[in-house]
Amino acid sequence: MRERKVRILHEGQEYFLLDRGREGHGRTIAFLRRLDDTKPPPDDAQRVLTDLGEYEWIASFNDGALHVEPAHVALAPTLQGIVTRYVDESRHGRARDGTTPYWYVAVRGEPVFELARALPHGLSVMVWSDEGKAEAAATARKGIESSDLSVERIHDLGAFLVACRNDGFAGATLDEHDPVFFCLDENEEPRHLRLAMDAKGKLTQRLLSGDGSWDAWDGDEDLNPEVDVESADEYMVARIGELPWLGYFENAPLYALARKGAPSAIHVEQPDADDSQATAFCPIFQETELAEDYAREHGRRGLEPTRIDDLGALASDMTRRGVTLFLHPDAHRARAATMWWSDGAVVLDSFSGLWKSAEHGGFEKT
């Protein structure tokens, strides 16, 4: 994300709140004081050179806690109040007359999400335009996720979505069916593009306006998708957990596709001749139904699932042939992974990083 600066004047002194978004598993906010002759910094002060001049680092907020430099402990209550208000307003927005309200469901303070097919690179925050539907969604989730659920009002949907993007969400889902994409305009300002079906069943594209309504977009304004894969991966680890892939369990059965009646003739997808960037891969799956769905959707007739008895042997053979194993190639990134053979082990790459096969039959983080 781009860092966000907020100027603060306190008792005649200029400060800046620097929102650095999510780093690791938490939001990171820094406080800087402009250096001048009226109050020289301590000898051991950390100096920060910005595009606005030289500043002194006086405090930081991360992992939910405020850390203040010893020379500025007297400011701790003030800074804590600023952080609390800033985080709340960046999440919900400021209440303004004439804006369209929205709602989200929170679990222990964090917005609920889904793995949206239209947004396969990360988590999609769920938003509702009707409070009653949000309440119904919260009721349906009780007993599944947690009893600690709440329905929160969003005063400014644009500010809320920017905060979600900064946290690590990859997009949003409105009313459980419309994907909302994070974009940047020609001035690199955040915009939000919604895909929806109109009353006639026609796909429409709409841009979020400042008052929370949606204006038709016909492509006259340049927009570029904004996908921060690294941030999205980190946030998936924080919300889903550090797993080789979502749905993983030790010694889980895996299946490849092979010619019917010839289980050793494992199917490999070859790249298109005009695609110089693509590489050959062997699609593999955790369930036979997923393998059958893939074969049917891609028109791979005459293929059937075959269980992989020795993943290491298959990975070794495919790597020797220049082929990568691809787990769930059409799935959301949380459920997908690539694998190859290296230094006597299967190496796995997924949203949670690199893993290698272990002697007990599972994977361990590298």
Cα gap 32→7, rounded to integer Å? 10
Q: Return phi, psi of residue 243, to 5°.
A: -125, 155
Selection from 32-41, 79-88, 156-165, 305-314 with the highest mean pLDDT: 305-314
In this prediction, residue 246 carries a pLDDT of 97
Measured CA to CA in angstroms, residue 239 lies from 112, 151, 243 at distances of 10, 19, 11
In this prediction, residue 103 carries a pLDDT of 96
Mean pLDDT within 249-275: 91
pLDDT beyond 70 at 147? no
Q: Which residue has the higher pLDDT, 93 or 29?
A: 29
pLDDT tens per residue across span 222-245: 899 988 899 999 999 999 999 999
In this prediction, residue 359 carries a pLDDT of 81
Quote the Cα angle for 178-337-330, to 5°: 40
pLDDT tens per residue across span 77-89: 999 999 888 877 7
In this prediction, residue 201 carries a pLDDT of 84
pLDDT tens per residue across span 118-140: 999 999 999 999 999 999 999 88
Close Cβ partners of 278 (under 8 Å, ≥ 6 residues apart): 271, 272
In this prediction, residue 93 carries a pLDDT of 63
Q: Which residue, 48, 9, 51, 4, is CA-closest to 27?
A: 4
In this prediction, residue 146 carries a pLDDT of 57
Q: Return phi, psi of residue 144, to 5°.
A: -95, -50
If you search the block for the tokens 């500010």, which residue do you land on? 159
In this prediction, residue 34 carries a pLDDT of 85
pLDDT beyond 50 at 1? no
In this prediction, residue 2 carries a pLDDT of 55
Mean pLDDT within 188-209: 90
Mean pLDDT within 18-26: 65
Close Cβ partners of 295 (under 8 Å, ≥ 6 residues apart): 257, 301, 303, 304
pLDDT beyond 60 at 33? yes
In this prediction, residue 38 carries a pLDDT of 66
DSSP codes of every residue in 35-47? --SSSPPPTTPPE
pLDDT bin (cut points 50, 70, 90) of residue 48 is confident
Alpha helices in the chain (DSSP H): 76-92, 131-141, 157-167, 229-240, 288-297, 311-320
Close Cβ partners of 258 (under 8 Å, ≥ 6 residues apart): 264, 265, 266, 267, 303, 304, 305, 306
Mean pLDDT within 141-157: 80
pLDDT beyond 60 at 23? no
Mean of the per-residue pLDDT values for the chain? Answer: 89
How many CB atoms lie under 10 A from the CB of residue 232?
24
- Name the strand (E) or helix (H) holding 114: strand 113-114
Task: Give how far the C-alpha of residue 158 lies from the chain's centroid of Cα atoms, to the nearest Å.
Answer: 17
With 0-12 / 13-18 / 19 or more C-beta atoms within 10 angstroms meaning exposed / middle / buried, residue 321 is exposed
If you search the block for the tokens 């891969």, which residue do you land on? 281
Report the share of the chain in percent with pLDDT over 70: 93
Q: Which residue, 310, 322, 319, is CA-closest to 270?
A: 322
Report the share of the chain in percent with pLDDT over 90: 59
In this prediction, residue 3 carries a pLDDT of 65
In this prediction, residue 348 carries a pLDDT of 98
Mean pLDDT within 155-184: 93
